[in-house]
Amino acid sequence: MKKIVILISGRGSNMEAVVHAARQEQWPARIVAVISNKEEAGGLEFARSHGIATAVVPNKAYASREAFDAALQEAIDVFAPDLVVLAGFMRILTPGFVAHYEGRMLNIHPSLLPLFPGLHTHRQALAAGVARHGASVHFVTAELDHGPVVDQAAVDVMPGDTEDTLAARVLVQEHQLYPRAIRLFIEDRLSIDNGLVRIAESTAS
Ligand code: GAR
């Protein structure tokens, strides 16, 4: 049984999608904890009400990024996870923290990477006039919103789209995409070869 720790900063709808998929599809994995850098993160209540351990490591309480990341790492490692899942975790991570979880930390980013890293991705997509937008799941590396891509999902940009309508359409895709990608990790089907993700065939009959 693999152990997953999920990090959130807010609403946590991707975390919810992962928890539901893990249970409904009976993954050989358990969400052992949901950890937030914000006390008020809405997703914490969902986790508690589903019997999942929660912890808060408030970034405001730490004087430096390094001190916060060290405290966060300690809080995560109590649960000895096989995989750390960033689900709307809005922090820039230090290289030491990223290195500690190399090859076992995934992130979802609301754009078709390498397009539109950083914040306000839907606004960036509308400003760029792209016809397709979407979301990416990638292994976390030291460079923000980079790292080997596991999978992506795309939506059409519609005439009249606003940031909100586009974000909502992408989010529906995120909720399918993230559980699908995490499941590949859980099934030991992902490897990184020269900076690219390779996906092994399923051995399930
Ligand atoms: C999601 O759209 C996720 O892709 C994005 O934050 C939202 C969190 O929503 N993440 C990033 O922008 C990370 N760079 P959620 O809390 O409902 O899952």
| Helices and strands, number each (H, E), in the chain | 6, 9
Say what the pTM is.
Answer: 0.97
**Residue 53, amino acid:** A
Residues paired with 30 in a beta bridge: 3
Which of 50, 109, 120, 175 is catalytic? The answer is: 109
What is the tens place of the pLDDT at every residue in 23-65?
A: 999 999 999 999 999 999 999 999 999 999 999 999 999 999 9
Q: Hey, whose CA ends up nearest to atom 12 of ligand 1?
A: 109
* Structural contact between residues 172 and 159, judged by C-beta atoms closer than 8 angstroms: no
Place of tokens 């891509």: 149
Architecture of the 2-195 domain: 3-Layer(aba) Sandwich (3.40)
Nearest alpha-carbon partner for 197 in 107, 132, 137: 137
- Picking from 99, 71, 96, the residue whose alpha carbon sits closest to that of residue 7 is 71
Give me ligand 1 centre to Cα 133, in Å: 15
DSSP letter assigned to residue 161: -
Determine which helix (DSSP H) or strand (DSSP E) holds 137, and give its type and residue range.
Answer: strand 132-139
- Cα separation, 145 vs 24, in Å, equals 30
CA distance 92 to 65: 8
Ligand 1: residues with CB < 6 A are 8, 10-14, 87-88, 108-110, 135, 145, 171, 174
pLDDT digits (tens, 9 = 90+) for 132-180: 999 999 999 999 899 999 999 999 999 999 999 999 999 999 999 999 9
- What separation, in Å, do the N-terminal and C-terminal C-alpha atoms of the chain show? 20
Catalytic site includes residue 109: yes
Atom of ligand 1 nearest to the CA of 121: 12
